[in-house]
């Protein structure tokens, strides 16, 4: 499924993020930036040791922020390591931290002059964020960002499994039907 925002395209695909040839792929990392399971493990396995070497020099990343490294052996030139929140109860700042992880990743892509970036569903695996709550936040944050910043041409969400894809698809349908909100409300 695809949706246009100004001059950019937002795509939803089901698949493996390590196979994407966008300028950058985003990793769902942890604050240590030293690898882990899920998407993080898959990216380090596919991209090779160069990524971990750069991560080691970065000295970590707090939740809600992101850092950029080489893509190593990946097709993508860069990996943006975004740290989402661990889900506790939904009222402990998780929505703000999740939105901020997406926003920081987009800002990093922009400051490096990138045109295309792929995101996984940050925080909805090991970090336990219910995907029904996370998907609208992820999509709304990306759409709002693209409305204000003209640099990026493609943002692709790469959803690993069918249920996650279905939730993102439903959320995008709902958002696409909403009238554009005035600037002040965004």
Report, in Å, the least distance between residue 27 CB and ligand AR6: 8
Strands in 154-159's sheet, in edge-to-edge order, are 2-5, 8-14, 154-159, 116-119, 24-29, 78-83, 66-70
71 near ligand AR6 (CB under 6 A): no
Question: Which residue, 77 or 149, has its beta carbon nearer to ligand AR6?
Answer: 77
Report, in Å, the least distance between residue 166 CB and ligand AR6: 12
- Nearest alpha-carbon partner for 43 in 63, 66, 69: 69
Q: Interface residues for ligand AR6 in 33-62 (CB under 6 A)?
A: 36-40, 42
- Reply yes or no on whether 144 is catalytic: no
User: In sequence order, which residues have a C-beta less than 8 Å from that of residue 182 and are 6 or more positions away?
Assistant: none
141 near ligand AR6 (CB under 6 A): no
- Nearest alpha-carbon partner for 157 in 108, 106, 112: 106
118 near ligand AR6 (CB under 6 A): no
Q: Using the 8-state DSSP alphabet, how is residue 19 labeled?
A: G
Q: Which residues of this protein are in contact with ligand AR6, per CB under 6 A?
A: 16-18, 28-30, 36-40, 42, 84, 120-127, 158, 160-161, 164
Q: Which residues are catalytic?
A: 40
């Amino acid at each position: 499924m695809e949706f246009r925002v100004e001059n950019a395209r937002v795509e939803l695909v089901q698949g493996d993020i390590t196979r994407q040839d966008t300028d950058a792929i985003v990793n769902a990392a942890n604050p240590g930036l030293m690898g882990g399971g899920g998407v993080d493990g898959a990216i380090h396995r596919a991209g090779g040791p160069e990524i971990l070497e750069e991560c080691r020099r970065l000295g970590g990343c707090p939740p809600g922020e992101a850092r950029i490294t080489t893509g190593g052996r990946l097709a993508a030139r860069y990996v943006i390591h975004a740290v989402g929140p661990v889900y506790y109860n939904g009222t402990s700042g998780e929505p703000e931290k999740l939105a901020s992880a997406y926003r920081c990743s987009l800002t990093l892509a922009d400051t490096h002059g990138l045109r295309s970036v792929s995101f996984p569903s940050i925080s909805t695996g090991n970090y336990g964020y219910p995907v029904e709550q996370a998907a609208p936040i992820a999509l709304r944050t990306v759409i709002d960002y693209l409305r204000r910043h003209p640099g990026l041409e493609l943002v692709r969400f790469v959803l690993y499994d069918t249920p996650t894809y279905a939730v993102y698809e439903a959320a995008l349908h709902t958002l696409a039907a909403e009238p554009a909100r005035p600037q002040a409300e965004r």
